[in-house]
Amino acid sequence: MGKDPQDLPGLDPFRCSRRNFIIMGHRAVSDGSIFLNDLCGASGRWDGLARALSSGLFLSHDMRRDTSIHLLLLGPPDPPKVISIDGARVKYLNPDERASAALMRKNLRTKLGEDAGTTLRTSPGIHLTRGGLETILDRIDGPVFLLHESGEDLTDCMVNGGIGEGPWNFFLSDDMEFTDKELSLLRSRASGVLSVSPLSLHTYQAMILVHNALDRFG
Ligand SMILES: C[S@@+](CC[C@H](N)C(=O)[O-])C[C@H]1O[C@@H](n2cnc3c(N)ncnc32)[C@H](O)[C@@H]1O
């Protein structure tokens, strides 16, 4: 297959999209041992991460090319590590959860250095980065928004011009709450805490509502 001229070798996965979703995977398996027959249990809730990946990147007949998804893998055996998927450049991604988890598993088989911030392109539009929340916060460009049902209504905030022109970085947790340490780090850097519903939603549902607000008012 010919080389994609847009898939530049030096591309920073945290700075190539206008919409960035960063999702905590508190127990998510962090190497190529994701167990496809048990994404929910033995793989540390990779089912939710794979669903968030599909919801974040797929349209009915297209990809959201302005969006990157960054999954922060904090489970065993090789945390902390981020796998970033760029909607403009990724290839071989399928909306089916098991297939997307399989593609992530294949990419996670590549060995990554130990130095925080080390980034490796593992396939078109997919990068691995060594590091946790602090590394991500150091690398991203643009404002940080923490998503939580207790926050300010996103559409009200947008109508009042409160989230700017982008790029945007939206931080969400998985089925577990953010830890106190994560919350204090995020709050110290966040431009705001945003809510998309008065109800507590699944991560992928909250992401779809963020996309919808940006599609309509952004
Ligand atoms: C399943 S929820 C987190 C766990 C949930 N709070 C619980 O009690 O089990 C997943 C994530 O989606 C986001 N989220 C859920 N509901 C939301 C809402 N109404 N507004 C904004 N973000 C929301 C938050 O980032 C949350 O951490």
In angstroms, the CA 83 to CA 101 distance is 12
* Bond prior to 124 in cis (omega within 30° of 0): no
Residue 52 CA to residue 46 CA, distance in Å, equals 10
CA of 184 to the centre of ligand 1 (A): 17
Confidence at residue 83, expressed as pLDDT on a 0 to 100 scale: 98
Residue 203 Cβ < 6 Å to ligand 1: yes
Q: At 20, phi and psi to the nearest 5? A: -120, 130
36: its two tokens: 């496809």
Question: Tell me: the pLDDT tens digits for 53-76?
Answer: 999 999 999 999 999 999 999 999
pLDDT at position 162: 82
Residue 76 near residue 29 (C-beta atoms within 8 A): yes
pLDDT tens track for 174-201: 999 999 999 999 999 999 999 999 999 9
Please, are residues 56 and 69 in contact by the beta-carbon 8 Å criterion?
yes
Separation of CA 150 and ligand 1 centre (Å): 9
How many of the other CB atoms lie within 10 Å of CB of 68?
Answer: 28
- CA distances for 197 relative to 41, 153, 173, angstroms: 28, 8, 15
pLDDT in tens, 101-122: 999 999 999 999 999 999 999 9
Q: How confident is the model at residue 161 (pLDDT cuts 50, 70, 90)?
A: confident
Stretch 22-42: mean pLDDT: 97
Kindly tell me if the per-residue pLDDT of 9 is higher than 90: no
Q: Longest Cα pair distance anywhere in the chain, in angstroms? A: 48
pLDDT band at 94 (very low <50, low <70, confident <90, very high): very high
Q: Flag whether the pTM goes above 0.85.
A: yes
Closest CA to ligand 1's atom 18: 149
| Domains recognised in the chain with CATH numbers | 10-203 (3.40.1280.10)
Most informative mutation of 148, 177, 208 for ligand 1 (most atoms within 8 A of CB): 148
Six-digit token string for 113 = 């250095």
pLDDT of 65:
97
202 Cβ below 6 A of ligand 1:
yes
Cα-based distances in Å from 140 to 96, 175, 179? 29, 24, 21
Closest ligand 1 atom to 175 CA: 1
